[in-house]
Structure 1
Amino acid sequence: MKISFKYISYFLLLIMGVSMTLSSCTNDLNVTPGDDDEFLSEAFFQDPASYKQVLAKLYAGLYVGGNDGDSKADIAGIGGDFSSYLRLLFVTQEFSTDEAIIAWADGTLPTLNAQTWSPANEFLEGTFSRAFYHISVANEFLRQTTEEKLTARGVDESLKAEIATFRAEARFLRAFSYYNLMDLFGNVPITTENDPVGFFYPEQKTRAEVFAFVESELKDIDGSLAASRSNEYGRIDKTAAKFLLAQVYLNAQVYIGENKYNEAATISNEIITSSGYTFAPIYKNIFSADNDRNGAQNEVIFPIVGDGNAIRATGGGMSFIMHASIGGSMDAASRGMDGGWQGIRTRREFVNLFPDANGIADKRGSFYTDGQSLDINNVGTFTEGYAVTKYINKNSDGTAAQRNDIPDIDFPMFRLSDVYLMYAEATVRGAASGNMATALTYVNKIRARANASAITASNLTLDFLLDERGRELHWECHRRTDLIRFGKFTGSSKIWQWKGGSINGTATEPFRDLMPIPARNIQANPTLKQNPGY
């Protein structure tokens, strides 16, 4: 049983049908509300409970694509299952890399497997539109919670204080969306609560300007967020904002051409030594149905919360990841699910990062190999490529989850072991505040939990760390960003099966380190400029 805030998120917004669709600043980005008669209105905010309900919508929007699970989609013309934020992050961050490949031939999906996408790719359009929809909800919430509006509505001082924290969380979630847009697309518009409501063309900003906005927001909200580990489970605290800021700094060389590894190491050290988050003793428990209460919750800094009973999202979030990764001779019931969709596997080059494929010398190498070939000769055949069994919709003691059609698993978007690896990488890259002996200790702590052999200082190289990030964090929506930071996403320095569209892989063009601005979004806002190469 998840705690109360989760039920506010899903029961109030999904079951009772409290709709938060809106029109502000979205037509220009080709993001249209699913129902033009439903708005965030002044009348709605007369109810003191409404503020937490809208905040809940922002959190719920990371998992589901509409106000009734997969139906009543937030964005007109894009299905709620298809436009799930988490699902689209997984599609863009994993299918384009060595960690995952999908058998389905839906629309332009195969081009993501091969790094041959174009501006007409509907999955990139969905990602772009979903992030800006999320931003528009955050902006409207911030417009409706100013001191002036709260005073005019007679909101008492205790609720005002609580709303101040809500506002900081909304700003974090908006910054999270801008981080993803900056990472994927580079130059994008910035809209805030200070922009007009209605149709206008928001100005496209440079990647450096988006970087500066995200950095400024994350620093500014620190004083208003809940103290580390003091908020309700599933909600943001100061440590989540620090994590995202460290992640931004770790990638600064890519985003703005400036080295900020020292800043990344400094913040990572603060999280490790002062946040109160602790290392979960059992790796597999982080990815099970009860990961909100089996000890994993002490390591996971930012979960995207799921629940089989409260969410009717059969195609979004973890439901997509679980169903699509089951097929062939796999027993769906053993994974806690009602069936499989014969979709996602991994590629041979990723399997080869592990000492074996059966999880003996490294427990993180969780592959299903029975009836599966290591090589992928036909992308459309699920049994070609090993299946990944990292996530399981069963409790850590082996008992059943609440349901077998929609999983209970909370997705671990940020967790402490990633902070260990960020600290180690920043240190290896030359961070003045880093300590190599400490970095080695953190890496070996991660490896000891996995039953993997300890490494020595001479092993702690950038190439090793990229591989270790894959072993520890695979299928957690980091791989594309990591490969780009290490200079191995495009080009020929790292090749995997079907990269570039050939069976044994081939070099791809470096301009593909950035995704194209979707063609339909440029049609809706002709002031947008396409990324070079597209």
Structure 2
Amino acid sequence: MFNRLKSILIIFASITMLWSCEKDLDLQPEDNRSSAEATFQDPDSYKQFLAKLYAGLAISGQDGPAGNPDLVGLDEGFSQYLRLYWKMQELTTDEAVIGWNDGTIKDLHSQTWTSGNEFIRTMYSRIMYQVAQANEFLRQTTPEKLDARGVDSALRSDIEKFRAEARFLRALSYWHALDLFGKPPFVTEEDPIGAFLPEQIQRPELFSYLEGELLDIESSIVAANQNEYGRADQAAVWVLLAKLYQNSKVYTGTDRSAEVIEYTTKIIESGYSLVDDYQKLFLADNNTNGAQNEIIFPITFDGMNTQAYGGMTFIIHAAVGGDMEPDDFGINGGWAGLRTTSALVNKFLDDNDDPIEDVQDERAMFFTEGQSKEISDISSFNDGYAITKFKNVDTQGNPGSDPTGDFPDTDFPMFRLADVYLMYAEAVIRDGGGSEAKAVSYINELRERAYGDDSANIDESDLTLELIINERARELYWEAHRRTDLIRFNLFSENGVWPFKGGVPQGSTTEAFRDLMPIPASDLGVNTNLTQNTGY
């Protein structure tokens, strides 16, 4: 069932808004704990509840694609977890713009957002909703609860692994909160259910909590490369630990590059491998075409069973417009929204005036016919090159399973081995130890896949931080890494300029406080325990 997560109705509706902060975003399931014990008489309910935790990253409600949302207050498609997270990580950077005028969406790219921005507010709410559900799963699977229900030893063994996965998923969402908001409200399974005002946790303390959680579940979760596709295993835990350590200087002021070397080495030695063709990572059969050997943790989608207007539906449909042929992408029509800036295009060019069509790097997936490289008007889809990276077709060109072409099968590769290679190389440069020779070899593996030969290989003299940040752009664009990367390299606000940043066509620097998103004004107005991030 995890190979393609299905939308599962969860009866245990004791999952409630653990902070009664946003009256326009109250969570839908009402407090109905009396049904929980009856529900858990079915042994399969534990795995179904766990499936709901995974599905919360892919779908936005109980019915799909719309009609019974988890959150109200923003359109159900707009409020889907991956769609929101992708916007936070990409629309705020040089890698993506969107031509729509929905609410305050353009403020993300111009970096002029306020604490009232509805997309930032709903990302915050979606994160806390995921945390709330994970907390409830952990409450319902304590030894005391299992004893009272007479759960047998075989199922208890499975549930212990389920609990480790639930804690990983909670840690993933709390990492997003740490990275985006810095000091969110903090709740765990030890806190009461219902309306109360949670305390705010500071960034270094949340970092320490997440580090402790991940180290604690490292030995209890399924071994690396041994779980069902789509589920977290030990390698996913190691990636999240490495991500924490990689950004530790930002989060805590302390460099932890040595730990990045330690955990990326564990991942690299755990049996994952690069797929032979870069494009396969982003196709409808990326769960079976060999890409699954590189993808360490995906958000899974299925055109028939995980239907949502967010997630990969958004990423694929919104990127198609102008003279592009929707059939080439396995969809029934484009939404003409997403493109990129010349700043990303230029990462692939030796000379910014060279035609992108002459580039041999197969990662340069741009549609240029009828498109201008430079953007004069963000609202015009033809301004800015389009991206052809993600498609709802398989390696043979066949469309995904949904006959309407509305909803894709393509999984989103949240963590993959190529990223780990680049993390290792960066940590070597930042004096974390490791081997320069290995770092070079890992980068060259990526380049040889991209170029088809060793013509673009580097040597140790080329190993610089500038090379790494640019290589991360070339390898990982539109995979929801860019904002975090730019902040770590001190290039996001004060020291980075790209088209329309700051709200002007030529781009400008912005103030350093924008390295953090604001705590939503609606939450501050209710929870007196919260203080706003500096600058908002």
Letter in 2 for 1:205: I
Preserved contact between residue 58 and residue 306 of structure 2 (Cα < 8 Å)? no
Contact 1:19 1:67 in 2 (8 A): no
The reply to whether residue 391 of structure 1 matches residue 390 of structure 2 is yes
Name 1:372's counterpart in structure 2: 371
Q: Residue 192 of structure 1 corresponds to which residue in structure 2?
A: 188
How far apart are the structure 2 equivalents of 1:37 and 1:504?
51
- Name the residue aligned to 1:415: 416
Deviation of the 1:29 alpha carbon:
4.1
1:60 aligned partner, one-letter code: A
Structure 1 residue identity aligned to 2:448: A
From 336, 347, 351, give the equivalent of 2:330: 336
The alignment partner of 1:55 has SS state of helix
| Separation in 1, partners of 2:92, 2:469 | 16
Q: Is the 8 A contact 2:331 2:399 kept in 1?
A: no
Moved more, 442-451 or 353-362: 353-362
After superposition, residues 62-77 of structure 1 pair within 5 angstroms as 62-69=57-64, 70-77=66-73
Write out aligned runs for 1:464-503 (5 A). Answer: 464-491=467-494, 493-503=495-505
Secondary structure in 2 aligned to 1:385?
A: coil
Secondary structure of the corresponding residue to residue 42 of structure 1: helix
1: distance between equivalents of 2:124 and 2:515? 16
Return the alpha-carbon distance in structure 1 between the equivalents of residues 377 and 233 of structure 2.
45
Report what 1:445 is aligned to.
Answer: 445
Q: Which residue identity is paired with 1:97?
A: T
Equivalent position of 2:311 in the other structure: 317
Quote the residue 2:352 is aligned against: none
Q: What secondary structure does 1:407 align onto?
A: coil
Q: Contact conserved, 2:12 with 2:36, CA < 8 A, in 1?
A: no
Report how far residue 276 of structure 1 moved. 1.0
Partner of 1:111: 107
CA change 1:21–1:483 in 2 (3 A) is: farther
Distance in 1, matches of 2:12 and 2:302, equals 21
Maintained 8 Å contact 1:253/1:259: yes
Partner of 2:514: 512
Q: Could you say which residue in structure 2 is the equivalent of 1:303?
A: 298
Change (3 A) 1:73 1:134: same
User: What is the Cα deviation at residue 25 of structure 1?
Assistant: 5.1
Instruction: Tell me which residue corresponds to 1:269.
Output: 265
The separation in 2 between residues aligned to 1:130 and 1:207, in whole angstroms, is: 19
Aligned to 1:287: 282
- In the alignment, the residues of structure 2 paired with residue 111 and residue 97 of structure 1 have an alpha-carbon distance, to the nearest angstrom, of 12
Give the CA RMSD over aligned residues.
1.4
TM-score scaled to structure 2, two decimals?
A: 0.95
Write the distance in 2 (CA, Å) between the matches of 1:327 and 1:73: 28
Q: How high is the TM-score relative to the length of structure 1?
A: 0.95
Cα distance in 1 for residues equivalent to 2:59 and 2:79? 8
Task: Decide whether the 8 Å contact of 1:483 with 1:489 is kept in 2.
Answer: yes
> What SS class does the counterpart of residue 516 from structure 1 fall into?
coil
- What displacement does 1:78 show? 3.3
2:130 aligned residue: 134
2:32 is aligned with 1:28: no
Task: Report SS of the residue matched to 1:453.
Answer: coil
Structure 1 letter corresponding to 2:478: W
1:79 is matched with which residue?
Answer: 75
Per-residue CA deviation, residues 458-508 of structure 1 (Å, 9 max, x unaligned), is 2211011001000000010000000000000001x3210000010000110
User: 2:520 is matched by which residue type in structure 1?
Assistant: P
Deviation at 1:361, TM superposition (A): 1.5
1:301 match: secondary structure: strand
Query: What is the CA-CA distance between 1:455 and the residue it aligns to?
Result: 1.4
User: Which residue number corresponds to residue 526 of structure 1?
Assistant: 528
- Corresponding position: 1:91 with 2:91: no
CA–CA separation in structure 1 for the residues paired with 2:285 and 2:323: 26
Give me the identity figure in percent: 49
Give the superposition deviation at 1:26: 2.2
Instruction: Give the Cα separation in 1 of the matches to 2:250 and 2:358.
Output: 34
Whole-angstrom CA distance in 2 between matches of 1:108 and 1:424: 38
Task: Check conservation: 1:357, 1:366, Cα contact below 8 A.
Answer: no
Q: Is the 8 A contact 1:22 1:33 kept in 2?
A: no
Matched, 1:230 2:226: yes
Give me the whole-angstrom Cα distance separating, in 1, the residues matched to 2:532 and 2:13. Answer: 28
Residues 154-190 of structure 1, C-alpha deviation per residue, up to 9 Å, x if partnerless? Answer: 1111000000000000000000000000000001122
Counterpart residue number, 2:46: 51
- 2:56 alignment partner in structure 1: 61
The gaps in structure 1 that reach 5 residues or longer are none
TM-superposed deviation, 1:23: 4.2
Q: Report the Cα offset of residue 6 of structure 1.
A: 3.9
Structure 1 residue 247, shift from structure 2 partner: 0.6
The aligned residue for residue 216 of structure 1 is 212
Structure 2 SS opposite 1:67: coil
Deviations 1:70-122 (A, max 9, x none): 32111232332121110001110000000000001111101001001000000
Residue aligned with 2:222, SS: coil
For residue 380 of structure 2, give the secondary structure of its aligned residue in structure 1.
coil
Distance (Å, rounded) in 1 between the aligned partners of 2:379 and 2:356? 22
Aligned length: 522
In structure 2, what residue type is equivalent to 1:381?
S
Whether the 8 Å CA contact 2:268–2:420 is kept in 1: the answer is yes
1:359·1:365 contact (CA, 8 Å) conserved in 2?
Answer: no
Residue-by-residue CA offset, 1:129-169 (whole Å, 9 max, x unaligned): 00000000000000000001001001111000000000000
Give 1:527 deviation, angstroms.
Answer: 1.7
- Which 5+ residue runs of structure 2 have no aligned equivalent? 350-354
Paired residue type of 1:325: A
Contact 2:249 2:256 in 1 (8 A): yes
Are the counterparts in 1 of residues 16 and 30 from structure 2 also a CA contact under 8 Å? no
Find the aligned partners of 1:278 and 1:298 in 2 and give their Cα distance: 6
| More moved, 165-174 vs 391-400 | 391-400
User: Equivalent residue of 1:66, what SS?
Assistant: coil
* Contact 2:17 2:129 (C-alpha < 8 Å) held by counterparts: no
Residues 142 and 193 in structure 1, CA contact (< 8 A), matched pair in contact too: yes
The change in CA–CA distance for 1:359 and 1:321 in structure 2 (over 3 A counts) is farther
